[in-house]
Structure 1
Amino acid sequence: MRAYPNATDTGRFAVLHDAAETLLDDLHERYMVERRESKECLGAEEALVRMVRLIPRTPAAGPLAIAFTDFPGLMVRLGRWWVDILPACGCDACAEDPAELIGMLRGQVGALIEGGLWERVRRGIGGSWFETRLTGVGLTARREGPLTSRDARDARRGGFAAPVLWAPWPRRLCA
């Protein structure tokens, strides 16, 4: 992620990395998921970042991906299209509170694992759009945005021609 000239104390966001790491470890222990780690570019101008994916063992449940940026911050992806960048800005004027961002991370991930993420592709006159809704404890949000023709075609081939409500994550059985 890019460095912001008006962000003087970016170190305060390092707790996001710790919280995400703890969350990922906890989810990997409690749920039947595959954990994949890699180094990836988030964009053409960006450096490689550590990416951790948790992929449920049932294809009906939505995946989680968290990128650990150098800012320090996180790029969180739920399902196919729900993306959040924490912090959203990081500048001194926005004064984002790391504790609130951690709460947001936990709330969004909690909604995903409980089956609260709905996604679809809709066609319009000007092209195709994605639409997502995330519902959880104390959380109701929706987002939408344009898709390229290729992304829309890939989404429809992947089963998103009809709305998809991701299933809850399967829990590990006690040993």
Structure 2
Amino acid sequence: MTQVRADPHTTGTARFAMLHDTAEAMLESLAERYMVERRESKELLGPTEALVRMVRLIPRTPAAGPLAVAFTDFPGLMVRLGRWWAEALPACGCDDCGENPGELTEVLRTQIGALVEGGLWERVRRGVGGSWFETRLIAVGFSARREGPLTARDAREARRSGFAAPVQWAPWPRRI
């Protein structure tokens, strides 16, 4: 996960604070409705970054994909779905980009909803130049695909974990 940094061309970052409120409410609601373990810690997002609050929801079945949300000081979020899907909200936050916090909360809801409903698919591909991860996230009215390089170590670990073949994460188990 990459940290969102304050930019000298960024003013009024407080408008993104609603992302923290929305994420917290979603995490609480998900923990009440689904059979998950909630883990909270302080973690570094990178070697040169500050500690941030990290909340993980780990489904009680290993077939369902985990969710991790980091609350950055910007204020913003770093969201990880499954093994490789990562989303920075906002992606930039500068005045020129004009990212709308309301639209970003809808991105958060849509992507987390897709994970919870079993719409995340991931795999490792081997190529001439090395290994790559490939992810797809699908929900009603939403479909996205991403890929990126893996280190040799990460590729070996992923294949050992069952990602040599495509993995479609299962829906989260509901509480009864």
Which category describes the TM-score, using the shorter chain as reference length?
Answer: over 0.9
Count of residue pairs the alignment pairs up: 173
Structure 2: tracts of 5 or more residues without a match: none
* C-alpha distance in 2 between matches for 1:133 and 1:72: 27
* C-alpha distance in 2 between matches for 1:26 and 1:115: 18
- For residues 30-85 of structure 1, the C-alpha deviation after alignment (integer angstroms, 9 at most, x for no partner) is 00000000000000110000000000000000000000000000000000000000
Which residue in the other structure is 2:66 paired with? 63
* C-alpha distance in 1 between matches for 2:62 and 2:48: 33
The answer to whether the aligner puts 1:10 opposite 2:5 as a matched pair is no
- Give the superposed CA RMSD: 0.5
Which residue in the other structure is 1:30 paired with? 33
- For residues 134-174 of structure 1, the C-alpha deviation after alignment (integer angstroms, 9 at most, x for no partner) is 0002110000000000000010011101100000000000x
Which residue in the other structure is 1:46 paired with? 49
The answer to whether the aligner puts 1:127 opposite 2:130 as a matched pair is yes
Report the TM-score when normalising by structure 2: 0.98
Report the TM-score when normalising by structure 1: 0.98
Which residue in the other structure is 1:91 paired with? 94
| Residue 108 (structure 1) shift | 0.1
* C-alpha distance in 1 between matches for 2:73 and 2:116: 27
2:162 aligned counterpart, secondary structure: helix
| Residue 107 (structure 1) shift | 0.1
* C-alpha distance in 1 between matches for 2:130 and 2:28: 40
* C-alpha distance in 2 between matches for 1:68 and 1:149: 30
The answer to whether the aligner puts 1:74 opposite 2:104 as a matched pair is no
Name the amino acid aligned to 2:102: A
Identity %, equivalent residues: 77
Q: Which one of the candidate residues 156, 159, 163 is aligned to 2:159?
A: 156
| Residue 2 (structure 1) shift | 1.8
Greater than 6 Å deviation, 4+ residue runs: none
* C-alpha distance in 2 between matches for 1:51 and 1:113: 19
Structure 1: tracts of 5 or more residues without a match: none
| Residue 29 (structure 1) shift | 0.2
Name the amino acid aligned to 1:53: R
